Amino acid sequence: MEEADVVRSLAALAQPLRLRTFRALVVAGQEGLTPTALAEHLGIAPNTLSFHLKELSHAGLVEAERQGRNLVYRAAFDAMNGLLAYLTENCCQGAACTAAPSPGCDC
């Protein structure tokens, strides 16, 4: 994943409703959700959801597929995995990552 793609993805997710939308689609998995079901789940107006889905789609984080008269939205798992890989590529300089011990801990 290129740096520009990472920045675009993070910018799209840096809005609470878009983050909630993306997370709901991740939970839905490959089955995805229709906009109606997603709007009901999130408790938002369909036109508001449409705007946020467009932004997530432009960032490459969601995909839509027509099934009959409905659109079904899914998280773009390849893009999500690419983003996570980019963010953790040099994690802990190649060593196993562990949390730092709490101050005063005899760990």
Q: What is the reported pLDDT for 7? A: 96
Q: Domains of the chain, with CATH numbers? A: 3-90 (1.10.10.10)
20 vs 24: CA distance, rounded Å: 6
Please spell the DSSP secondary structure of 27-80, one letter per residue.
HHGGG-B-HHHHHHHHT--HHHHHHHHHHHHHTTSEEEEEETTEEEEEE-HHHH
What is the average pLDDT value for the chain, to the nearest integer? 90
* pLDDT tens digit at each of 107 positions of the chain: 899 999 999 999 999 999 999 999 999 999 999 999 999 999 999 999 999 999 999 999 999 999 999 999 999 999 999 999 999 887 777 666 676 655 655 54
Any idea what DSSP says for residue 94? Answer: G
This prediction's pTM: 0.83
